[in-house]
Amino acid sequence: MNMERSPGDAQEEWLLDEPTVRPYVMTRGRTDARGRFDLVTIAVTIRSTTGAEVGLDPEHLTIARLCRRPLSVAEIAAHMDLPAGIVRVLLGDLLEKGYVAVQQPQPETDVLDERTFRAVLDGLRAL
Amino acid sequence: MASGHSDPPKLPKAIKLLIAGGFGVGKTTMVGAVSEIRPLRTEETLTDRSVGVDDLTGVETKNTTTVAMDFGRITIGDEFMLYLFGTPGQERFWFVWDELARGALGAVVLADTRRLADCFPSVDYFERRGTPFVVAVNCFDGTPQYELDEVKLALNLGSAVPVLLCDARRRESGKEVLITLIKHAYSRRPAAAKEASVR
């Protein structure tokens, strides 16, 4: 699939307001059932960008910069003032190109094992 | 589950909690009181499940709506990140968007005793969905004081649902609400049923 796009496309996606789900997002098994990133999917940059990469837009580079520390989709979207759906698409590009790693949230029934429970409780008490 | 990279870095696990309740009940205030960051706002496109019947109509007939949500974060060590999402306050019917609740470990339903009915939809929704929740009665200045049992009765809550008073502006109070929620969610987890009468 051709990933190239003209500068105008990003704007169009914004207007359509419909997150583009690309096939590779679904096939790599790194995403939830909807083939999208959750609002609390955590991303971190694992390969630094120089700004001269082919196929990366300024928004991609901004995400790569923001994610030097682990950050959720919701936070990336808020910091960039972009709808979460757009961030999902851009993050998908970065994941596919190997610039970021992501941690999907666990299913809700699996989240709270005893160790997590103790750690979260202690963490909250220490606030 | 999510592997594929040669050596994926150890990333913190995200835990999502919801803060629900009627408009102006103090959801964002509570998020701000406990969050380590200034509450942020994100726009999310959601699907309205009330439009069409899934099996009969295609995805293309569903309505999508963009809502804004305020959220905050509490980092716990380098292993966990707690995210608190205020449900969209301007939308009385936020619960038509299952996407919001999906994956949430639990919810706080904020209640104002002057407008108790405002939190009915949230209570109903979490009960039906099976999401563990607690009811926190936000004590505004000059709010008539009710016994917690009265609130419980008025909301027709099961005896297991914790109800507590809070002050959404105070961090300590918000902390207590979250601790109560985490304990409740833990007691409600599927494995807890097997351990039976331990607690």
| Cα torsion through A29, A35, A40, A46, rounded to 10 | 50
Check CB contact of B77 with chain A, cutoff 8 Å: yes
Q: Do A108 and B105 touch (CB under 8 A)?
A: yes
Q: What is the pLDDT of residue B62?
A: 61
Q: What is the pLDDT of residue B110?
A: 95
Contacts of residue B25, Cβ cutoff 8 Å, sequence gap at least 6? B110, B111, B112, B115, B118, B119, B138, B168
For residues B93 and B14, give the distance between their C-alpha atoms in angstroms, rounded to a whole number: 26
Residue B95 in tokens: 């619960």
Residues B182, B185, B188: CA angle, nearest 5 degrees? 150
| Cα torsion through B37, B42, B48, B49, rounded to 10 | -40
Q: Which CATH superfamily is domain B13-188 in?
A: P-loop containing nucleotide triphosphate hydrolases (3.40.50.300)
Residue A47 pLDDT class (50, 70, 90 cuts): very high
For residues B131 and A121, give the distance between their C-alpha atoms in angstroms, rounded to a whole number: 19
For A25, nearest residue in chain B (alpha carbons): B2
Q: Do A101 and B8 touch (CB under 8 A)?
A: yes
Question: pTM of this prediction?
Answer: 0.80
Say whether domain A7-125 belongs to CATH 1.10.10.10: yes
For residues A120 and A51, give the distance between their C-alpha atoms in angstroms, rounded to a whole number: 38
For residues A43 and B39, give the distance between their C-alpha atoms in angstroms, rounded to a whole number: 20
Q: What is the pLDDT of residue B187?
A: 93
Strand partners, B68: B43
- What mean pLDDT comes out for the span A44-60? 88
Residue A120 pLDDT class (50, 70, 90 cuts): very high
Enumerate the domain spans of chain A. Answer: 7-125
Q: What is the pLDDT of residue B30?
A: 96
Q: Find out whether B52 and B68 touch, Cβ atoms under 8 Å.
A: no
Q: Do B8 and A18 touch (CB under 8 A)?
A: no
Given a cut of 50, whether residue A26 has pLDDT beyond it is no
Q: What is the pLDDT of residue B83?
A: 96
Given a cut of 60, whether residue A4 has pLDDT beyond it is no
Cβ atoms within 10 Å of B64's Cβ, excluding its own: 15
**Each residue's pLDDT tens digit in chain B (199 positions)?**
444 444 556 899 999 999 999 888 999 999 999 999 999 999 887 776 554 444 444 444 567 777 888 999 999 998 999 999 998 865 556 666 677 888 899 999 999 988 898 899 899 989 998 999 999 999 877 666 778 888 899 999 988 999 999 999 999 999 999 999 999 999 988 766 665 545 4
Residues B12, A41, A74: CA angle, nearest 5 degrees? 110
Amino acid at A13: E
Partners of A77 on chain B (C-beta within 8 Å) are 42-43
Q: Which residue has the tokens 């039976």?
A: B196
Residue B64 in tokens: 């999508």
For residues A106 and B28, give the distance between their C-alpha atoms in angstroms, rounded to a whole number: 25
